[in-house]
Chains A and B, each alone.
Chain A
Amino acid sequence: MEISASKIGNVAVAVVPVEELDASNTAEFKRDVTPVLEGNASLVIDLSRLRFIDSSGLGAMLSCLRQVSAKGGDLKLCGMSKQVRATFELVRMHRIFEIFPTQLEAVRAFQG
């Protein structure tokens, strides 16, 4: 899974390139996002291509947040579809992530 990060100022922005993040590709996602997590303290993950996320996908997101937080960094999310947002709300993960409509707003939140 190709996950590369671009930079907007100091903030790295990585786009999840798949439409579904679930048990079939979570391991691959975690493996391929690790270099991005390790290399960036301020990170925005863009989920705008994501149509569906299941419990294991959410677990992977949580794992990303913990990895970044452990190094004193922060991770924000953006671009969620209604369905993906509903899934985050179902498990109360919207309370631990800051979630923004667009990349720009998420990046600005780091600066604010």
Chain B
Amino acid sequence: MWPELSQQERFRAVALAVRDRLVDGMLATEERYRRADPKRVHYLSIEFLLGQSLQTNLVNLGILEPCRQALTKLGANLEELESVERDAALGNGGLGRLAACFLDSLATLGLPGYGYGINYEYGLFKQEIDGGYQREKPDNWLAEGSPWQISRPQEGCLVPVFGRIEHGTDRHGAYNPMWMDWKVLMGVPHDMLIPGYGGRTVHFLRLYTARSSHDFDMRIFNDGDYFKAVEQKIASETVSKVLYPSDAIVAGQELRLVQEYFLAACALRDIVRRFEQNHSGFDEFSAKTAIQLNDTHPALAVAELMRILVDEKDLPWDNAWKITQSVLAYTNHTLAPEALEKWPVPLLERTLPRHLQIIFEINHRFLQQVATAHPGDSRRIERMSLIEESSPRQVRMVNLAIAGSHSVNGVSAIHTKLLKDELVPDFCQLAPDKFNNKTNGITQRRWLLEANPLLADLICSHLGNGWIIDLNQLRGLEKFAEDAGFEAQFQKIKRANKERLAAIIRDNVGVKIDSDALFDVQVKRIHIYKRQLLNVMHIVHEYLSLIEDGKVPLAPRTYILAGKAAPGYWLAKQIIKLIHNVAKVINQDPRADRWIKVAFLPDYRVSLAEKIIPAADLSEQISTAGTEASGTSNMKLALNGAITIGTLDGANIEIRDEIGEDNIFIFGLKAAEIKALREKRTYLPREFYDRDPRVKRIADAFASGLFCREEPGLFDWVGKVIFDPADEHFHLADLPAYLQAHEKASQAFGDRKRWMRMSILNVARIGKFSSDRTVMEYARDIWGVSKI
């Protein structure tokens, strides 16, 4: 039987066997929680970037080796089977991956918690490259079903959308708005089991699929208009069809609004249902329930919870509002205006008329509170209103989320400061105690133990395995930072990882690279604020220095870039094309052959990140200061011994503080300097061009058509961006300092002992950035939940 199975079938068989163990763990966990009746956390996120699950599940259950041995006996290879699994790419980037890391930490820490999301049939698109251009292909990750999902149709819920308000009075003569003429969606949960490390706790991530109701399906056969009925069925099921692929940009379509409401409604229905199974009345609801809103995408939960409490459970408004605020907490992930969600009032009126009424009422009462605190300050009222008086009027979801939550956090120290001082200072003045920082983190289980088993083994052999659940224990590596024996093993492991990546690059993009070269890595979504363009400018600088000045680099460099551009983001797609054209010119130039290589790896996803990150020497974290709320690839790369070259932005600042100035290459303008330049409008990029011949040469290279001989003018946009005095990302302002920082990095890499020391100290001092620490802080400061 086994020899006849395909790899896919073998993977499925192994996964189902593992799932059985997970179910046992989940049932035991649920029984523990049932007996203890603890306060539970519910993490609502429109994205969960889970990646592959087989290895994580085996490691966390503690059965990796037994499984490997069992498969070997059957003539199968575990790593090969792992590679068959499709990534669950239900997310775009950092926000979705953070949610996935948090679930791992919640379970590992034994904190009672659940994830709630949407079961997109099509996850983030598959990226192919055609002539240097990104082409999106559908990611039908559920085509062959997922062995990890357990369908729970009996716990489905009905979600009304659209309709209108019928204004009436109740039996006592009071105003009674009735939500009529809605269409019904059915949310069917599919649970993915999430084991904590050690296997004691197994939670579930509840992902909802939108279906038309069974009754509706039956009516198709009875109704005269068959095709109309089928059209309506298809329309219902569209809600969970596809993840919106925009990262850090608002997707303003009606379908997205319905998705967001669908998530909030299904989650709240489930939360309330579970609560009511064991409690009567809502007095204890806030003592037993914490709900975290991952960005504003689930912020309709504020209005939906109010609707449930007031409309369905007949609670007085003030009581319901007190409960809502006590239960809800909001995490902000961005300050960028283009990423702040606002929904037009007319759209909300036709999609969620009752929620719009509730939002208006919340706003009315909230602004009364503001007016009492700041009498006569109409500008403040205007700024703080949940409704923006534009044409058409818009509902500001950030304001709604803040008003409806007892806690608002940013995701790094600098981000939280900017959130309080610049984005929402009025809210901070009104309720300063609401605001707090929770610096992001990553799970060391996936990002070191699983992704870099050789390094994990080395660490365990020297420190034991306590670091797996307490990353601060990596500090114990400090004493090995100058130990020749340890360094030699460390270096050998890095080289092995680099060889593995070199093979992947060779097989995927046909570029042969030297594993002894410095692997300079920038892997993240393509976005102007992340400044892949700045990276390309440095690459061009190194290339021109080599071929025109004869300046041989101190060490050969391989530049590795990866990331997806949102399909509608023209500039990001041009950046991908630029990278490919620059790569082609450099890689085909025999003069650069020994010294510089450039590779763009297509279809960046979690499983690819797990191969790239352990191989990195230098980690590019070069966003314009003040733009990257936190970043998390910075943490993953440092955890694997890559040294950061970066700006003082997001969590880079705290990484520097932990790791030490000597072990990181910081450059560029600080956030306050960027702000000053912007406000004084004194940025003159031409000056950098005129003053610095390096800058001139780089800019001229793009303009000359060196990288687009066959398509003249293709990269004229580069000049338009970098020479624009309104360039929001100040590329040329930071370019000289960036080139300087790279010089230092090259010199350091040439001194192997120094480089190894820095690399080891990065690993040793990164402990703060475990998502275990982050989640414990949320648990202590925001949720009030404890280990069970």
Contacts and interface: CB of A to CB of B under 8 A. Distances in A.
Interface of A: 20, 22, 24, 51-52, 54-56, 58-59, 62, 86-87, 89-93, 95-96, 98
Contacts of B166: 62
Contacts of A62: 166, 178, 180
Given A55-B183, A96-B168, 15 more contacts: A52-B215, A55-B180, A55-B182, A56-B181, A58-B180, A62-B166, A87-B158, A90-B179, A91-B178, A92-B179, A95-B171, A95-B176, A96-B169, A96-B170, A96-B171
Contact of B171 (A86, A89, A98): A98
Contacts of A92: 170, 176-179, 311
Given A90-B311, A96-B170, A24 B163 contact: no
Contacts of B171: 95-96, 98
12 contacts: A20-B215, A22-B215, A24-B219, A52-B215, A62-B180, A89-B312, A91-B311, A92-B170, A92-B311, A93-B178, A95-B176, A96-B169
Counting chain B CB atoms within 10 Å of each CB, the highest count among A56, A59, A86, A90 belongs to A90
Contact of B184 (A24, A54, A98): A54
Nearest to A90: B312
B160 interface: yes
B312 A86 contact: yes
Interface in B660-717: none
Interface range for B: 20 to 34
B180 A91 contact: yes
Contacts of A59: 180-181
B223 interface: yes
B280 interface: no
A8 B181 CA distance: 34
B214 to A, nearest CB: 9
Contacts of A20: 215, 219
B222 interface: yes
Contacts of B223: 24
A89 B311 contact: yes
Interface in B175-195: 176-184
B652 to A, nearest CB: 48
Contacts of A95: 170-171, 176, 314
Contacts of B313: 89
A62 B223 CA distance: 24
Contacts of B178: 62, 91-93, 96
A92 B313 CA distance: 10
A81 to B, nearest CB: 13
In the A-B complex, the 9 residue pairs with the closest CB atoms: A95-B170, A89-B312, A91-B179, A91-B178, A55-B182, A52-B215, A92-B311, A55-B181, A92-B178
A96 B160 contact: no
Contacts of A93: 178
A22 B229 CA distance: 13
A22 B184 CA distance: 11
Interface string B371-389: 0000000000000000000
A93 B169 CA distance: 10
A59 B180 CA distance: 7
A55 B179 CA distance: 9
A107 to B, nearest CB: 18
Interface of B: 158, 160, 163, 166, 168-171, 176-184, 213, 215, 219, 222-223, 311-314
B261 to A, nearest CB: 14
A15 B181 CA distance: 24
Contact of B176 (A52, A58, A96): A96
A87 to B, nearest CB: 8
A92 B177 CA distance: 7
A42 to B, nearest CB: 16
Nearest to A86: B312
B170 to A, nearest CB: 4
Contacts of B219: 20, 22, 24
Contacts of B181: 55-56, 59
A86 B269 CA distance: 11
Contacts of A89: 311-313
A52 B218 CA distance: 12
Contacts of B180: 55, 58-59, 62, 91
A112 B13 CA distance: 66
A24 B217 CA distance: 12
Nearest to B313: A89
Nearest to A96: B170
Counting chain A CB atoms within 10 Å of each CB, the highest count among B170, B176, B178, B215 belongs to B178
A52 B166 CA distance: 21
Nearest to B269: A86
Nearest to A87: B158
Contacts of B176: 92, 95-96
Contacts of A22: 215, 219
Nearest to A66: B168
A95 B313 CA distance: 11
Contacts of B182: 55
A12 B311 CA distance: 30
A92 B179 CA distance: 8
A105 B312 CA distance: 23
A98 B170 CA distance: 10
A98 B311 CA distance: 16
A24 B222 contact: yes
B177 A90 contact: no
A96 B172 CA distance: 8
A87 B312 CA distance: 9
Contacts of B183: 55
B721 to A, nearest CB: 51
Nearest to A89: B312
Contacts of A86: 312
B312 A55 contact: no
Counting chain A CB atoms within 10 Å of each CB, the highest count among B158, B163, B183, B223 belongs to B158
Contacts of A55: 160, 163, 180-184
B669 to A, nearest CB: 54
A24 B177 CA distance: 25
Contacts of A56: 181
A86 B314 CA distance: 12
Contacts of A58: 180
A77 B762 CA distance: 70
A55 B162 CA distance: 11
A93 B314 CA distance: 12
Counting chain A CB atoms within 10 Å of each CB, the highest count among B163, B184, B312 belongs to B312
Contacts of A54: 184
A90 B160 contact: yes
A109 to B, nearest CB: 12
A96 B223 CA distance: 31
Nearest to B166: A62
Contacts of B222: 24
Nearest to B215: A52
Counting chain B CB atoms within 10 Å of each CB, the highest count among A54, A87, A92 belongs to A92
A31 B299 CA distance: 43
A51 B214 CA distance: 12
A93 B312 CA distance: 9
Counting chain B CB atoms within 10 Å of each CB, the highest count among A59, A93, A98 belongs to A93
A87 B215 CA distance: 15
Nearest to B232: A23
B227 to A, nearest CB: 15
A34 to B, nearest CB: 20
Contacts of B179: 90-92
Contacts of B158: 87
Contacts of B168: 96
A48 to B, nearest CB: 18
Contacts of B215: 20, 22, 51-52
A98 B222 CA distance: 33
